[in-house]
Structure 1
């Protein structure tokens, strides 16, 4: 077996839809075509937004589509637990390490104060406006005074002099300017660990060699690379697949119709039809036809995946049903 390892890590805050299935299928094919190990991890770190029943539904939907995994919350494995809400001690340990090497500082800015700069140009589009560094240079006395009135978040100090460059497996060479969007939160004021930190700790702990995910997370990559470096952890190879978009230019969502896997199943759309449709969109087949996920493994070619957003026209969407 190859030592290549990849994963799919859904967030159980809503029903799995074709956009999720798109990323899951391509991540699975990348690993299975290289005879590697595929991991399923549940990213439920944001407790208020996540629901256990949706986590169970996600596992059922993936299995119904014909995808499997070697390690995961339901099958276990050597890197358990595979559910983020059960991995909090690992994140706290990483925070302690970052604090010890002076990579973090407390931020007392309120949500209203941060929203006030929301109209500023965004350094990283999906990550919101760049943080202005308001709390970065507070003295210890100023920090103490502010702690009496407000529990702070913790922010990572981004080197404002270094550009970040990495080679994306689909998008090619990616370069982010110095400062990469400003200092970012690694623990919220309510104590919830940020996605950025949790995903780095988990991918390193689970020995991920490759991370294939949606292009909406590309802007997170430079921040995660900085965390890998600061913690002395090896970074995986990254590849970002384009998003599926509606004809209105917005990401495929409920407003474009019910594209949930559960909804499609209820409408009588079979798993091989969904897989064949996604494979055609990904350039893996030259025409749309129902096909099992396992049949795609032998001729998966990452180089054929488009690197621009894919517009799902009404005609394309109808292919799923007829």
Structure 2
């Protein structure tokens, strides 16, 4: 694999419901960054967590992106169709002696403190159900974020042996997102700052799968009146098709841009790409990420 690849970004929603204003901000920031770099912008449906998946939500999300003039490149990748690939990646980590079985319940883990203590590292866990954890011997304590700057993490959090395969038989986000980004040639990840700290775990996994790492930008989160992140869990209202321009303008303003409301949507997007290029073109290179 070459040291550098052409810019490739992505937006990877979970199909647990329609997009809301917070997810529009994340999608828009990712899209603008890709287009400002004359790069590709992919859409991936992260439906690996099957209990959260809502039937038809994937098609609704794709339609909402089109309504806001966010058009992707290539075909849509679905995580639910890649189970064999995730198992292959998990096997690779096992062969590198980077995994172990854990039969601790959430209650047992919580009783030990805020982070998992690695109690199963020296046990021989063979009974089901069990999780598979990453043996996090060389934690990443800091990295450079293209939006947030220099990030220093709580060492106890960064060093936690995080889960790769859950007790209920599902692969975790931490594993699947890294495998997908590597396989799709993603070079730049723009997403919400709620995922900022988990970046240290993901970058650690990158280093065991490939010699390159991506650049990151974590944009601020939109909050509700109670100061909570806008999310489906917090019942954030869905985007409205009839209000696409106003929603797009509000999202652009949230990101610090100055759209002209009187222009048609395609022109607003085009002008916003140029504004983004002027404001945010100083992204760190992948080699500077860690």
Q: Same fold (TM over 0.5)?
A: yes
Residues 1:290 and 1:164: Cα distance change in structure 2 (over 3 Å): farther
Q: Distance in 1 between matches of 2:172 and 2:164?
A: 5
Find the partner of 1:276 among 221, 243, 249.
249
Q: Which runs of 5 or more residues in structure 2 are unaligned?
A: 282-290
1:290 deviates by 6.5
For structure 1, list consecutive stretches of 5 or more residues without a partner in the other structure.
74-81, 121-128, 306-322
Does 1:171 find its partner at 2:152?
Answer: no
Q: Partner of 1:308 in structure 2? A: none
Contact 1:153 1:187 in 2 (8 A): yes
Aligned residues of 1:170 and 1:303 also touching (Cα < 8 A)? no
Aligned to 1:28: 31
Distance 1:274 1:72 in 2: 26
Residue aligning to 2:75: 72
1:239 aligned onto 2:234: no
Greater Cα shift, 238-247 or 178-187: 178-187
Match of 2:120 among 135, 140, 152: 135
1:182 and 2:167 aligned: no
TM-score (norm 1): 0.78
Provide the alpha-carbon RMSD of the alignment.
2.4
Contact map agreement 1:159 1:178 (CA 8 A) in 2: no
Report the counterpart of residue 100 of structure 1 in structure 2.
95
Alignment coverage as a number of residue pairs: 273
Do residues 13 (structure 1) and 8 (structure 2) align? no
Counterparts of 2:159 and 2:228, CA distance in 1: 23
Structure 1: how far apart are the matches of 2:235 and 2:184? 36
Cα deviations by residue, 1:239-286 (Å, 9 ceiling, x for unpaired): 10010012322112579886311xx33xx42x2221111111111117
In structure 1, the residue matched to 2:55 is 52
The more displaced of 39-48 and 247-256 is: 247-256
Deviations 1:267-320 (A, max 9, x none): x42x22211111111111178777622331222148479xxxxxxxxxxxxxxx
2:140·2:204 contact (CA, 8 Å) conserved in 1?
no
CA change 1:256–1:205 in 2 (3 A) is closer
| Structure 2 counterpart of 1:39 | 42
Q: Is the 8 A contact 1:4 1:210 kept in 2?
A: yes
Deviation at 1:7, TM superposition (A): 0.3
Counterparts of 2:55 and 2:169, CA distance in 1: 20
For residues 193-216 of structure 1, give each alpha carbon's deviation from its aligned partner in whole angstroms, at most 9, with x where no partner exists: 000000000000001110000000
CA contact (8 A) 2:101 2:130 kept: yes
Asked whether 1:221 is paired with 2:199, we answer yes
Taking a change above 3 Å as real, the CA distance of residues 59 and 233 of structure 1, as seen in their structure-2 partners, is: farther
Q: Which of 292, 295, 298 is residue 274 of structure 2 equivalent to?
A: 298
2: CA distance, partners of 1:257 / 1:224: 28
- Aligned-pair CA distance for 1:112: 2.5
Aligned mates of 1:109, 1:255 — CA distance in 2 = 26
Q: 1:289 to 1:59 in 2, by over 3 A?
A: same
Query: Which structure would you say has the larger Rg?
Result: 1
Distance 1:247 1:92, change over 3 A: same
Contact 1:275 1:290 in 2 (8 A): no
Secondary structure at the residue paired with 1:22? helix
SS in 2 for 1:251: coil
